[in-house]
Homo-oligomer: A and B are copies of this chain.
Amino acid sequence: MQFSKSTDYALHALIHLGLPERDTNVGIKELSATLGVSESYLSKIMSKLRQDGIVRAVPGVNGGYELARPADQITFLDVIQVIEGRQQLFECSNMNSRQHQLLAQEGAAQQEQPARNGCLVEKVMEGAEEHLHQYLREHTIQTVLDEALKHRSHESHKK
């Protein structure tokens, strides 16, 4: 149960694109050199980000990538869902086991409750996932940029 390295690379790449000093397009060479990942592998990740409208890409000389929208409108959840997919964190694998039938016995016997209300374990997990998502929606690429710049200015202030 861990986020993939691709998610790591994607987030770091987006942060690089969001740094204020560089307003022009950033090529895959610079990105891969900065992150320490191969160009070919990082390319696929960037492609995914482009397909989902997180970044824009222009080919040709002086081409490269740039953020498709302001850094404070790219949430951690956005990035994670693009790379990891949108499958839910937990999925009950045996909804017609004897256990689930037992836990819903009365309703089924009298046909009063035709809508099988799903797995109780799954419900708890859905709550957990929603909590997690809420947090990840509140944190954006800009959040990290702010933190980085705060450190910098704090250091240069001490000087």
Contacts and interface: CB of A to CB of B under 8 A. Distances in A.
A99 B135 CA distance: 25
B98 A34 contact: yes
Interface string A27-65: 000000111110000000000000000000000000000
A36 B97 contact: yes
For the residues of A in contact with B, the DSSP-based class is: helix
A143 to B, nearest CB: 7
A26 interface: no
B99 A1 contact: no
Interface of A: 1-5, 7-9, 11-12, 15-16, 33-37, 76, 80, 84-85, 87-94, 96-99, 102-107, 110, 112-113, 117, 120-121, 123-125, 127-128, 131-132, 135-136, 139, 143-144, 147-148, 151-152, 155-156, 158-159
Given A35-B94, A128-B135, 20 more contacts: A1-B84, A2-B88, A2-B89, A3-B89, A7-B90, A8-B90, A8-B91, A11-B121, A34-B98, A36-B96, A36-B97, A36-B98, A76-B128, A103-B148, A103-B151, A106-B155, A112-B158, A120-B144, A128-B136, A131-B135
